[in-house]
Structure 1
C-alpha cells in the first residue's frame, strides 16, 4: 500500500466541533438532561420538547445561519449531546432546517411571515415538515394531498384518501406548545394541477387539534422518543397567504418539485454529520467497557478483554473511521457551499458523504454492540439507541439507497461529473475506476436504455457501491491533504479495502494472505494507543452508560428495583 505522510490526529476539527460559541457540556449537568428511564411515553414526549427548547436557546440560530448554512448550523447537527435525546434533536433539526429553512426565503417578498419565522426560531411554536405520505415515500413527487384555490382567494387543504395521509412527522398536542407544519401539497386551480407547493398549516394550539386536522399517534419507534404520527386533513380552510410562492403553473414540473423541497439537500448533509457523535459515543462506551471488563485465564489470573484481538478490531477500526470522518465532513461542507459547482454536483457531495458515513456507522456500531455482550442491548447503556438512530438517519432527508441510485445513474449517463481522483495510483482510486468501467460496459450492453427492465436488473443494484467507491477515494484524498494521523489513516484504508476485498483479489492487486498481514500490522501500529485514543474522544460528559465505570455500574445496580422475601417453596 502507498506510504502515507505522518500528521496530527484531530478527532474534533475546530470548524465542526471545537469552535462553538460554548460547549453543551453544561446542559448535561442539568436535571432536564438526566436519564429518565421510568418516564411514561407522554412524559418522554414532553421532556424531548423541553430539551429541544433548551438546545434551541443554546444555539440561538438565526435565519441567516440557516440560509447561509453557517458553522453554527452544522455544529448543531454534530453535537455530542444528540444521543442524550435523539427525539429532541430530530425536532430541532426539522424546526430549523426544514420549516424555518423553507419559510425564510419568502420573508422578503411576504413580510407578514417574519413574525411566524421569529416564533419558529425561538421555538415558541413547534414546526413540522410534511412531505411523504402513507402511499408515497420514495415517489413523493406523486403525492396526493391537495390545496385548492377558492373563488374568494382562500384555500382548502384536503387528504383525498388514507394513502395520502402525511407520514410520519409529529402532530399531536404536547407541552402546551402551539404546532404548525409546512405541508407539501398539490396546488389545484380551476381543476388544474399546478405542481407541489409548501403550505403553512396550523395543526393545534398545544392542547387540542385545529378543526379538520386529525393526528393518529404511531407506536413507539425504537430508540427515538418522538410522537410520530399519521396526519390527515378534512377540508381545512386556509387564508390567502398560506401557500408559499407563485400560483402560476411552472414551466417544468419536475424542476419545480425539487426546488420546493430544496431544504432536503442541506438536510442530507446534516443527517450525515450525526454519524460522528453516534460513532464516537458507541466507540467510547465499548472501549471503556472493554478496558474495564476482565475474564479469567490460566493460573486464576484475570485480564481485560481489550487484550483480545477480536475485541480490539472493531474498536480500533471505529477510531480510524472517526479520524477521517471529521475532516471529510468539513471538506464536504466547503464543497456544498461552493457555488462554482453545478447544483447537481453540490448535492452529489452530500449524497456521497451520507452513503459513506452511513456505511461506516452501520458496519461499526452493530459489531461494537455485540462486543459489549448482553449489556449492550439495554436502553440504559445508550448504544442501541445510537444503532436505531443510524437506521433512521439512513432513511431521513433523502433515502441513502435511492439518492445513491440517482447520483450513480446520472453520472453514468454523463449528465455531470464529480471531481476526479488526484491520486490515481492508490488502491481505492483503482477500485472506483474499475466500478466505473464495469458500469459503462453494462450500459453499453443494454440497447433499450436506462428505463428498461435490463437496466434495472443489471445496473441499479450496483449504484450504491459505485457511490461508496467514489466516497472512499474522496475520504482518503481529503485525509491525506489534511494530514490525518498516518497509522489511523492506514488502518482506515485497510478497512475500506476490506469492504470489497474480493475485487482486489480478483484483479490481482492483493492476495488474501497479504491483506490479512497488512491489516494485522495496521492494528498493531495503533494497539498501544487504544486507551489514549478512546480518551481523546472526550465523551465522558455526554455518556450516562453505567458499564463504562465500575463505580457507575455499582450505583446502577444498587438503584434497581429489588425484590426479596422470606417464603419457602418446596421443589420435591
Structure 2
C-alpha cells in the first residue's frame, strides 16, 4: 500500500485534465506535485540514502495518473535536492535551501545537458567566469549551449536550478562545476536568463520543456558547489558531481514498474467487461476468454511481478556498502535497460487489445507509453549505458552478479552471449577496432538486457514468486532470441509457442487475484475499466444535438467574418 491511496481519490486527482487549456493543466500538475510532497514529507536523508520511503515514492502508481508530476518531482527530488544535499553538511545556506525545496516552496531544476551536447556533455560550452570582485559571470555564449530540456519557466513559485558550466579562472579552464542559480521569482525570469518553451512532446502532458540560456548572469561566490580548484582527475570529478544522474537511472527505472502495473490492470479489467457474440454459439462471451487477449495480458502481469522482485533486489545491490560508484552505475543501468523494454512495450501490446479505445489519451496507455520512452532517455540513455557496460563485460573488466541457479535457461543464454561476443572481440586489434565495433555495438543492449532477464529471474526465485508467473516470464523473454534456444537447447519454435499457451491458460482462472495483487485499482482514471466509469465519462463529454444548430451557425459566421 502506498501513502497516496486516499489522495488518489480526491477531486484534485480525479479531475479530468484532458480538456483543460494547456496552462491550466500545467498549474494543476504543480498543485498535484505539492500534494504528493506533503503526503510523503521526504527528508534529505531519504533522498541521499534511497530510503524505503523514497523508493516507495518512485514505485507509487499515482505518478501514472499525471506523468507530469513524475517528471517534475524526479528532477526536483533526485537531481536538484539530491545534488544540493551532497553539499549541505558544511553549508548552512544550502541546508536552508534544501529545507525550502523539501516543502515545495521552491521548485528545483537541473541544467546539465545542452542542445548541442547530450551524450558528449563532457564537452559542454557554457562557462562561469570568476570576476575580480569574487563573483561569477555565467554565459551560454552560443545557441547550441542552451540547456535542454528542463522545464525552467515561471510556475507560480520561485525556481532554482543546479546549472553546470565550465569554471574559467584567469582564462584557465578548471573543469565543469555545479552552480546554484535562481531562475525566477515564480512569475518573471531573473535578469539575463531566457527560457524558450518548446512544443509539447507527445505524452508529456503538462510539462513546459524548454531551452534555457544565460547572458552575463552575475552569481555570488556562494553559488559554486564544491572546490574552485581544478581537479586532478577532471572526468572522475565530473562523474562525482553528477552522481545523482546515476541514482536517477535506478529511480527512473522504478517508474517503469508503475507503467507496467497500471497498463496491465486497465486492459485486464477492460477485457473482462467487454463482451462479443461468439459466432459459433451465438452466446455473449468476454474477450478475456480469447487466447489473443489473455496470453499478452497475463504475460504483462508476469513481467510486472518479476520486475517488482528485481526492482527491490537492484535497490539492495545499489546500496550495498561494498558497491563502488562504477558498480552502482552498472546495476542501475542493467535494471533500467531491462525494465524500460517492458515499460515501453506493454502499453503498446496491450493498447492494441482494445482497438480504437487504446488511442484515446483518457484511457492512459498512450500517455504512459510516451513517458516510458522519455524515461528510457532521461538520466542515462539506455543505449549509451548499455554500450558502455556491455563492452566492459565483454572485456572482463566487470562481471555480472552471480546466479542462484546455474542450470537455468536464462543463465546459459547470458553466458553464451558473453562468450560469443568475447570471441568476436578477440578477432580485432582492440575493442576500438572499427570492424569489431560495427559488429559488437549493436549487440550491447541485447546483452545487458539478457543479463537483466537472468537477474530478474533470480530475484523472482528468491522472492518466492508463483512458479507459473516465473515460467511465463521465462517464455516471454525467450522471444527476444528464439533462435538461440532452438540452436542450443533444442527447443523448437512450436515448443516455444506452446510454453506461452500452456502456462497462460493455467493462470487464467486466477486472473482476478493477480489483478488485485497489482494494487492499482485506486490509481486508474481510464473510464474504460467499468460500465459506471464509462457512463460518467460519456455524460461529461461536449455534446451537440439538433437544438445546437443555430448556435453553431452563429459561431461559424463569426469565425468567417474575421477571416
**Same fold flag (TM > 0.5):** yes
Question: Residue in 2 aligned with 1:368?
Answer: 350
Q: Which of 203, 206, 212 is equivalent to 2:186?
A: 206
Q: Which of 496, 500, 507 is equivalent to 2:488?
A: 507
Q: Which of 539, 543, 552 is equivalent to 1:558?
A: 539
Q: Which of 411, 418, 428 is equivalent to 1:436?
A: 418
1:210 Cα offset (Å) = 0.3
Q: Which of 366, 376, 381 is equivalent to 1:384?
A: 366
Q: Between 209-218 and 421-430, report the one with greater CA deviation.
A: 421-430
Q: Which of 341, 347, 354 is equivalent to 1:359?
A: 341
Q: Contact (CA 8 Å) 1:345, 1:418: kept in 2 or not? A: no
Is 1:302 aligned to residue 284 of structure 2?
yes
Is 1:256 aligned to residue 232 of structure 2?
no
Question: Residue in 2 aligned with 1:411?
Answer: 393
**Aligned equivalents of 1:38, 1:362: Cα separation in 2:** 26
Tell me the secondary structure at the aligned position of residue 274 of structure 1.
Answer: helix
Deviations 1:287-336 (A, max 9, x none): 11110111122353211111110011110101101121111111111100
Q: Contact (CA 8 Å) 1:77, 1:271: kept in 2 or not? A: yes
**Aligned equivalents of 1:467, 1:286: Cα separation in 2:** 29
**Aligned equivalents of 1:114, 1:552: Cα separation in 2:** 46
Q: Between 164-173 and 513-522, report the one with greater CA deviation.
A: 513-522
Question: Residue in 1 aligned with 2:560?
Answer: none
1:508 Cα offset (Å) = 4.3
Q: Which of 490, 504, 507 is equivalent to 1:523?
A: 504
Paired residues for 1:85-124 under 5 Å: 85-124=66-105
Question: Residue in 2 aligned with 1:186?
Answer: 166
1:400 Cα offset (Å) = 0.8
Q: Which has the higher contact order (CA 8 A, sep 6+)?
A: 1
Q: Contact (CA 8 Å) 2:59, 2:255: kept in 1 or not? A: yes
**Aligned equivalents of 2:464, 2:489: Cα separation in 1:** 30
Q: Which of 198, 210, 215 is equivalent to 1:234?
A: 215
**Aligned equivalents of 1:158, 1:455: Cα separation in 2:** 41
Deviations 1:215-252 (A, max 9, x none): 00111122221111000000100001111111111111
Tell me the secondary structure at the aligned position of residue 307 of structure 2.
Answer: helix
Q: Which of 38, 42, 57 is equivalent to 1:57?
A: 38
Q: Which of 496, 508, 528 is equivalent to 1:547?
A: 528
Tell me the secondary structure at the aligned position of residue 529 of structure 1.
Answer: helix
TM-score of the superposed pair, with normalisation by structure 2: 0.95
**Aligned equivalents of 1:362, 1:96: Cα separation in 2:** 24
Deviations 1:505-533 (A, max 9, x none): 12243111222222221112211112221
Q: Contact (CA 8 Å) 2:149, 2:210: kept in 1 or not? A: yes
**Aligned equivalents of 1:167, 1:179: Cα separation in 2:** 16
TM-score of the superposed pair, with normalisation by structure 1: 0.93
Question: Residue in 2 aligned with 1:283?
Answer: 264
Q: Contact (CA 8 Å) 1:264, 1:398: kept in 2 or not? A: yes
Tell me the secondary structure at the aligned position of residue 223 of structure 2.
Answer: coil
**Aligned equivalents of 1:397, 1:341: Cα separation in 2:** 20
Question: Residue in 1 aligned with 2:561?
Answer: none
Question: Residue in 1 aligned with 2:434?
Answer: 453
1:376 Cα offset (Å) = 1.0
Show structure 1 runs of 4+ deviating over 6 A: none
Deviations 1:189-231 (A, max 9, x none): 1111111111100111011110000000111122221111000
Paired residues for 1:342-353 under 5 Å: 342-353=324-335
Question: Residue in 2 aligned with 1:315?
Answer: 297
Deviations 1:42-69 (A, max 9, x none): 1111111111011011111111111111
1:160 Cα offset (Å) = 1.4
Paired residues for 1:108-187 under 5 Å: 108-175=89-156, 177-187=157-167
Question: Residue in 1 aligned with 2:10?
Answer: 30
Question: Residue in 2 aligned with 1:10?
Answer: none
**Aligned equivalents of 1:178, 1:452: Cα separation in 2:** 51
**Aligned equivalents of 1:261, 1:139: Cα separation in 2:** 14
**Aligned equivalents of 1:29, 1:418: Cα separation in 2:** 42
What are structure 1's unaligned runs of at least 5 residues?
1-17
Deviations 1:417-471 (A, max 9, x none): 2223332211111110111011111110011x22232232011110011111111
**Aligned equivalents of 1:240, 1:550: Cα separation in 2:** 61
**Aligned equivalents of 2:53, 2:74: Cα separation in 1:** 13
**Aligned equivalents of 2:345, 2:69: Cα separation in 1:** 26
Q: Contact (CA 8 Å) 2:427, 2:436: kept in 1 or not? A: no
Is 1:218 aligned to residue 198 of structure 2?
yes
1:561 Cα offset (Å) = 1.2
Question: Residue in 1 aligned with 2:56?
Answer: 75
Q: Between 155-164 and 555-564, report the one with greater CA deviation.
A: 555-564
Q: Which is helix-richer, 1 or 2?
A: 2
Tell me the secondary structure at the aligned position of residue 207 of structure 1.
Answer: coil
Q: Contact (CA 8 Å) 2:162, 2:180: kept in 1 or not? A: yes
Deviations 1:244-291 (A, max 9, x none): 111111111111111110001111111011111111111111111110
Tell me the secondary structure at the aligned position of residue 546 of structure 2.
Answer: coil
Paired residues for 1:527-538 under 5 Å: 527-538=508-519
**Aligned equivalents of 2:404, 2:510: Cα separation in 1:** 31
Question: Residue in 1 aligned with 2:554?
Answer: none
Q: Contact (CA 8 Å) 1:345, 1:417: kept in 2 or not? A: no
1:564 Cα offset (Å) = 1.3
**Aligned equivalents of 2:340, 2:424: Cα separation in 1:** 27
Question: Residue in 2 aligned with 1:427?
Answer: 409
Q: Contact (CA 8 Å) 2:393, 2:418: kept in 1 or not? A: no
